[in-house]
Amino acid sequence: MAKPTGGLLAFDARGSLGKVIVYSTWRGRNYVRRHVIPANPRSVDQTSTRSVFSWLQQVWKEAPTDTQTPWTLFAKGQPLTDRNAFGKMNIGNLRGATDLSTFVFSPGAKGGPSALTITVVGAAGTLAVTATAPVPPVGWTLTGVTLAMIADQNPHTGLLFTIQDSLVASPGPYTHTFTGLAAGTYWGAAWPVWLKPDGISVAYGPSITDSDVVT
């Protein structure tokens, strides 16, 4: 951006001259720049990013609180919002995907360990998600495990945005059955909720996932 110092450019000119240069102001200062036609890139990667971004934005909008909270803590102190963090991490995972096998429900926050195992069992209209939790690090307290699920789909074209979750308090057992589901493949997830040794600070483990078919 060039700052005008004399002649025509010293006055309050506005607009384009011959589609070569553009006159305008910014914070009370006149300036001139080259005329540029905005690009609307359509490469495969760019189009893929846009479609996944759009899908993720709708998923976030409909996500329940216990799914959003780990992202909120993860983004704290960083130059991005929880929604931005959710989108950034999952765009990288899903850009070339045709299913949700790499979808991240929880990024983990403040060093929380993950669950040890997850078992996902589909039946007629139901999906049972069960997790085993690790032994807490010295001084840490496991306060619960969040169990969640979403219908499998292509993240570029899918329209099934709803995540369901359930926070199961300690001491467990850490299992929950989601009901009223349409037939199809679903991804279940689990991540622990921790209280750190100071007795105040909360931490979350990263999610682990598995899938099964609901009939």
Tens digits of per-residue pLDDT, 28-57? Answer: 666 667 766 565 555 455 666 888 999 999
Task: State whether 30 and 66 are in the same domain.
Answer: no
Task: State whether 49 and 20 are in the same domain.
Answer: no
Task: State whether 33 and 56 are in the same domain.
Answer: no
Q: Given a cut of 60, is residue 86 above it in pLDDT?
A: yes
- The overall pTM is greater than 0.85: no
> What's the token pair of residue 134?
């690790």
Task: State whether 50 and 76 are in the same domain.
Answer: yes
What string of DSSP letters covers 44-105? HHHHHHHHHHHHHHHHHHH--HHHHHHHHHHHTTSSS-HHHHHHHHHHHHHTT-SSSTT--S
Indicate the number of domains in the chain: 2
Q: Given a cut of 70, is residue 196 above it in pLDDT?
A: yes
Q: Give me the pLDDT at residue 9, please.
A: 47
Task: State whether 20 and 56 are in the same domain.
Answer: no
Quote the crossing angle between the two packed helices 82-94 and 44-62, to the nearest 10°.
130
* Cα distances (angstroms) measured from residue 133 to each of 118, 149, 204: 9, 18, 12
Task: State whether 173 and 202 are in the same domain.
Answer: yes
Q: Which residues of 84-116 are buried (b: 16+ CB within 10 A; e: fewer)?
A: ebbbebbbeebbebeebeebbbbbbbeebbbbe
Task: State whether 34 and 48 are in the same domain.
Answer: no
Task: State whether 92 and 6 are in the same domain.
Answer: no
Give me the domain span that covers residue 72: 44-214
- Say what percent of the chain tops pLDDT 90: 76
What stretches of 84-201 adopt beta strand conformation (E)? 107-109, 117-122, 127-132, 141-151, 164-169, 175-178, 184-195
Tens digits of per-residue pLDDT, 107-155? Answer: 999 999 999 999 999 999 999 999 999 999 999 999 999 999 999 999 9
For residues 102 and 68, give the distance between their C-alpha atoms in angstroms, rounded to a whole number: 18
Task: State whether 29 and 56 are in the same domain.
Answer: no
Task: State whether 116 and 196 are in the same domain.
Answer: yes
Task: State whether 54 and 96 are in the same domain.
Answer: yes
Contacts of 68 (CB under 8 A, 6+ apart): 60, 82, 86
CATH number at residue 195: 2.60.40.10
Q: In terms of Cα–Cα distance, which of 192, 190, 184, 193 is closest to 209? A: 190
Q: In terms of Cα–Cα distance, which of 157, 165, 164, 47 is closest to 100? A: 157
